[in-house]
Amino acid sequence: MLTRIDSEIALNLDAVASIRFSRNGPELTATVNFLSSQPAFSEMVSGEAAETLYGMLGGAQTSDGSAEKHEPVPFTVLPFQARFARTKAWYYLKGADDQSYILAFVNAKGSCSMRTFDAGTGRFLGKKYQAGNYENQFADFIRNAKELMVNSQPNLERDCKEYLPDAVFSYLKKRIESE
């Protein structure tokens, strides 16, 4: 669920690892660090968004600028909106059959897909489609897998019909071996 912190910004607070607040003069700034993002990802917000976030987490400023604690203020929780979500992800899965797989997930136009590749050869093994988003529809696969990051995103339809492209496969193999 997303939480609106100003008129143009919404955050998934369940995905936040930490928030560092700082004040430069009268303006409050919040550096939001997100969970399980490789490489690490952070976003900086200031002004109304930072003040709202600070208040939601139980902080407030007195007129002299010193911190004052109080109960978190009420806030609006918005339904999930796909435009704020990641649309692609890669995972490594060691199957129950001791076979290893690379999984490529995509969300697009209200549906999702999971493409499966042999982790030893990069050979395409098949794809499954579902309505909804991959985080929900393929949660059982994701729960038992390790997320991988790619250095360049191939076009799965065009470039991965039989095998992963060599550059992508080599990069993923190094990521898997370093885990």
CA distance 111 to 130: 6
Q: Is the pTM of this model over 0.85?
A: no
Type of residue found at 28: L
Q: Give the model confidence (pLDDT) of 46-79 as tens digits.
A: 878 788 878 777 665 544 444 444 444 444 444 4
Location of structure tokens 């590749």:
117
Q: Is 61 exposed, middle or buried (0-12, 13-18, 19+ CB in 10 A)?
A: middle
